[in-house]
C-alpha cells in the first residue's frame, strides 16, 4: 500500500489546489442542457416507470442534482417519478426500474466523516433483494466516501463490495477519468454496443467516485487498472501524506449483476449520469466537453436493463431534418403502428389502412375496412412484438411507395412463438393530412 513520494507530492499539490478553490463545491443541476435521442424508445409518457430514490438523504434526487437524468429519460419516453420513504414491497410494486444515487445515513448528512453507516435498514435491503429477484431492475450508484460506505450493505446483498474511498485514475481530480475501448477500460458489452450502430460507445468520462469488486459471473463494464489508486481518508476531501491508498487492480466502476429474474447495474460515480455546473462554471456530467457520449451510454444502459428491442417513439428534430418531410411523416406512422401493436391495440393498427385498402400476399387477398379489421383483430391474445425496418421511400405529391422488412412475433394457434419475417411494399395515400395504406403487399424473406 502506498505511492512513491514523488507521485504523492504531486498528488498532494493538486488536491490542495482543487480543494482550496472549491471546484466541487456548490454544484447545481444544469437544467438548460438537453440531449435528445435520435429516436425515442417510447412515445412520450408511454414508457416503463422509473422511480428515483429520494427517501435516504440522497445527494442526487429527481428534484435536484438528478433532474437532468430524469429529463433525459423523459425525452426517451420513460415515465419518471420520485420514490419517497422506505423501500418496501408495496412501494416498489409497479416500478420497472429503481434508481438509487448517493444515499446517506442521516448521521452523515453534512458530516462526511467516518463511520458511514448503511443508508438502508435490513428490512429495506431484503425488500429490494426480493423485488430484483422477482424481475425488478436496480440502478445503484454510490460515489466517493461517504456514499460508498452508505451503500455497502445494500450492494453486499448482491455480492458487490464497495471500497469506501476516492478512486483515482491519475494524479489529479481534474480533468475527469476517461474509460475508453482503446485503453481497455471500457469493456465490450451490450451497453457499450447499443441497439443501433450509432449508439456504439468508444469512451465515457467519470468524475472521481468510488470502486468496487463484482461477484463471479457478473458483467463488468468499466475496469480500473492496477496502477490506479483509491485514497482512503477518514474525512471526505481531507488528504495528507499519511492518507492510506490502495491499488485498484481487480476493481471496477461499472458493471451488471444478474439476480434471479432481475438485474442490478452498479456504478461508483454519480455525476456521469447527470449534468451539473459548479460555482466556477465548470461543467461536470454529460454536459461536459469531456463526456460527449455519456448521455447515449445512459440510454443504452437503461435500455439494457429494461429491454426494448425496437424504438417506437418520435424521431428527433435533427433526424427528421435529414430526410424529406414526407419520409419523416411515413416513418413516424411506422413507429405509431409498431407502438399500437406492441401495446396490443390491434384495431388501432387496422385504422392506418384506408377504407378501400387491399392486402395481398401468397394465398391472401383482402379488400376493404371489414376484412382488414378482422385480419389484425385475429392477433388478439397472440401478438408479442412488431418491428418495421424501412429500406426505401419513394415520395410523390400525395402518395408514396415504401419498401421494407417486417419482423412480427406472435403465438400461433398451438401456442408456439413464431417470428414472421417478410419483405413488404406499401402504397401510401395522404388524405385530410393523414397517411393511410392503400395497398399492402408482402412476401416471405
Supply the pLDDT for residue 14: 46
Supply the pLDDT for residue 374: 96
Q: What is the CA radius of gyration of the chain?
A: 25
Instruction: Kindly write down the DSSP assignment for every residue of 172-237, as one continuous string.
Output: SSSSPEEEETTTTSB---HHHH-SSGGG--SEEEE-S--EEE--TT-EEEEE--TT-EEE--SBTT
Supply the pLDDT for residue 76: 96
What backbone phi and psi angles, to 5 degrees, belong to 178? -125, 125
Query: What residue ranges of the chain have pLDDT lower than 50?
Result: 1-23
Supply the pLDDT for residue 308: 87
In CATH, which of 3.30.420.480, 3.40.50.9100, 3.10.450.50, 1.10.1530.10 is domain 323-444?
Answer: 3.10.450.50
Residue 159's CB is within 10 A of a number of other CB atoms, namely: 15
The 10s digit of each residue's pLDDT in 160-208 is 999 999 999 998 888 899 999 999 999 999 999 998 888 999 999 999 9
CA 76 to chain centre: 9
Q: Tell me the C-alpha distance between 238 and 1, whole Å.
A: 19
The 10s digit of each residue's pLDDT in 56-81 is 999 999 989 999 999 999 999 999 99
Instruction: Check if 5-306 and 323-444 are the same fold.
Output: no
Q: Which residue has the cell 384506408?
A: 354
5-306 CATH: 3.40.50.880
- Give exposure, 368-387, as e/b (b: 16+ Cβ within 10 Å): eeebbbebbeebeebbeebb
Residue (of 101, 110, 173, 103) closest to 139 by Cα position: 101
Residue (of 113, 140, 111, 115) closest to 125 by Cα position: 140
Supply the pLDDT for residue 321: 67
The domain spans of the chain are 5-306, 323-444
What backbone phi and psi angles, to 5 degrees, belong to 28? -135, 155
Amino acid at each position: 500500500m502506498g505511492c512513491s513520494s514523488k507521485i504523492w507530492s504531486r498528488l498532494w499539490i493538486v488536491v490542495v489546489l482543487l480543494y482550496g478553490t472549491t471546484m466541487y463545491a456548490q454544484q447545481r443541476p444544469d437544467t438548460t442542457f438537453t440531449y435528445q435521442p435520435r429516436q425515442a424508445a417510447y412515445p412520450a409518457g408511454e414508457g416503463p416507470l422509473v422511480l428515483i430514490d429520494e427517501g435516504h438523504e440522497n445527494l442526487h434526487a429527481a428534484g435536484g442534482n438528478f433532474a437532468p437524468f430524469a429529463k433525459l429519460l423523459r425525452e426517451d419516453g420513460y415515465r419518471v417519478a420520485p420514490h419517497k420513504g422506505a423501500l418496501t414491497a408495496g412501494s416498489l410494486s409497479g416500478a420497472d426500474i429503481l434508481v438509487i444515487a448517493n444515499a446517506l445515513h442521516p448521521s452523515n448528512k453534512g458530516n462526511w466523516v467516518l463511520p458511514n453507516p448503511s443508508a438502508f435498514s435490513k428490512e429495506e435491503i431484503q425488500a429490494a433483494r426480493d423485488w430484483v429477484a422477482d424481475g425488478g431492475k436496480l440502478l445503484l450508484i454510490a460515489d466517493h466516501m461517504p456514499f460508498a460506505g452508505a451503500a455497502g450493505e445494500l450492494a453486499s446483498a448482491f455480492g458487490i463490495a464497495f471500497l469506501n474511498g476516492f478512486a483515482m485514475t491519475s494524479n489529479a481530480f481534474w480533468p475527469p477519468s476517461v474509460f475508453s475501448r482503446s485503453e481497455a477500460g471500457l469493456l465490450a458489452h451490450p451497453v457499450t454496443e447499443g441497439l443501433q450502430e450509432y449508439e456504439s460507445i468508444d469512451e465515457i468520462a467519470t468524475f472521481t467516485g468510488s470502486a468496487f469488486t463484482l461477484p463471479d459471473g457478473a458483467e463488468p463494464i468499466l475496469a480500473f487498472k492496477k496502477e490506479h489508486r483509491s485514497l482512503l481518508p477518514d474525512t471526505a476531501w481531507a488528504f495528507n501524506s499519511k492518507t492510506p491508498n490502495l491499488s485498484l487492480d481487480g476493481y471496477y466502476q461499472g458493471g451488471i449483476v444478474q439476480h434471479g429474474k432481475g438485474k442490478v447495474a452498479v456504478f461508483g460515480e454519480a455525476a456521469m449520469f447527470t449534468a451539473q455546473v459548479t460555482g466556477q462554471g465548470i461543467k461536470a456530467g454529460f454536459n461536459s466537453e469531456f463526456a460527449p457520449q455519456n448521455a447515449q451510454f445512459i440510454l443504452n444502459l437503461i435500455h439494457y436493463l429494461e429491454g426494448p428491442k425496437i424504438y417506437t417513439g418520435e424521431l428527433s428534430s435533427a433526424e427528421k431534418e435529414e430526410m424529406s418531410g414526407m419520409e419523416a411523416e411515413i416513418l413516424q406512422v411506422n413507429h405509431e403502428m409498431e407502438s399500437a401493436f406492441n401495446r396490443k391495440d390491434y384495431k388501432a393498427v387496422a385504422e392506418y389502412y384506408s377504407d378501400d385498402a387491399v392486402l395481398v400476399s401468397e394465398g391472401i387477398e383482402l379488400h376493404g375496412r371489414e376484412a382488414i379489421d378482422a385480419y389484425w383483430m385475429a392477433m388478439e391474445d397472440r401478438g408479442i412484438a412488431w418491428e418495421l425496418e424501412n429500406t426505401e421511400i419513394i415520395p410523390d405529391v400525395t402518395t408514396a411507395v415504401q419498401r421494407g422488412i417486417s419482423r412480427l412475433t406472435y403465438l400461433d394457434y398451438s401456442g408456439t412463438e413464431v417470428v414472421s419475417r417478410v419483405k413488404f411494399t406499401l402504397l401510401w395515400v395522404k388524405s385530410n393530412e393523414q397517411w393511410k395504406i392503400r395497398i399492402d403487399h408482402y412476401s416471405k424473406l
